[in-house]
Amino acid sequence: MRSVYRALAGLIAIGVLVQAMAIALAWFTVIKDVDDGSVFSENSDANVGHMIHTIVGSGIIPLLAILLLIISFFAKVEGGVKWALYVFGLVVLQFGLAVASFGAPVVGALHGLNAFALLAVAGMAARRAAGPAPAAESPATATGATT
């Protein structure tokens, strides 16, 4: 289970990188299209970058965060539940910031900043699972016997 925890946390971190790449692709595509004479409007067809950003950000990363939280209860990672909750909370915040950004675009800066926090926290969660499992207390030390 530790390896599943580590993989899920790592996939969330990679997902954040995919998000950054997708949104860069999306907006550079828009800029190129406008420079070539196209008009970008609310009725414009979505480009591949926007579609990837939407699918990964509203579907894949939240699903991975929920799975990480569930697995954290069984993975025996020291502090694993706490770190999974941090990841889950940042994912929820990220979604809320995205929604709020459509009404107040300045909030989009916080959406970008939170992505860096999510990347870091997911990476730290994955790193915590890479170490050795917490040592189980032996029966001899549990009863106070000495050797």
Using DSSP, how many helices (H) and how many strands (E) does the chain show? 6, 0
pLDDT in tens, 56-87: 999 999 999 999 999 999 999 999 999 999 99
Global pTM? 0.85
103, HSE (Cβ side, Cα atoms, 13 Å): 4
Give the span between the Cα atoms of 79 and 66, in whole angstroms.
Answer: 17
CA–centroid distance for 20 within its chain: 12
Residue 28 has pLDDT above 80, yes or no: yes
pLDDT in tens, 93-119: 999 999 999 999 999 999 999 999 999
Binned at pLDDT 50, 70 and 90, residue 139 comes out as: low
The ranges assigned to domains in the chain are 2-38+46-132
Give the span between the Cα atoms of 34 and 86, in whole angstroms.
Answer: 40
